[in-house]
Amino acid sequence: QGWADFLGIRLDFQRAREVVAGLGLASQQDWYAFAEVDPVRLRELRLPQRPRAVYRAEWRGYDHWLGIPERTLYVPRAWAER
C-alpha cells in the first residue's frame, strides 16, 4: 500500500476490472445493488460508483466490467430464414 491507497485515488481501468471480477457480481443490477448498499467498501476498493462515466474511453459494457465471458447468441434457423 502506498500514497494512492492513503489518498483514495481510483484504480486504473484494468486493475479496477480485476478487482470487480473478484467480487463475483453477475449483472449490471448486481453492480448497482453493491454500489448502493456498500458505498464504504466501494471507496475502500477505490472503485467508482459509475464506472461508465469514469472510464469512458475504455468502457465496453457491464459484462466486460464485471469480467463476465462473452456469450454467443444463437438465433433459431427459422428466424434467420425469414
Cell readout for 27 is 449483472
End-to-end Cα spacing for the chain:
59
pTM for the complete prediction?
Answer: 0.75
Residue 45 main-chain phi, psi, to 5 deg: -80, -5
Q: How confident is the prediction along the chain (82 residues), in pLDDT tens digits per residue? A: 676 666 667 899 999 999 999 999 999 999 999 999 999 999 989 999 999 999 999 999 999 999 988 777 777 888 777 6
Distance CA(51)–CA(44), nearest Å, equals 15
Q: CB of 21 within 8 A of CB of 66?
A: yes
How is residue 49 annotated by DSSP? Answer: S
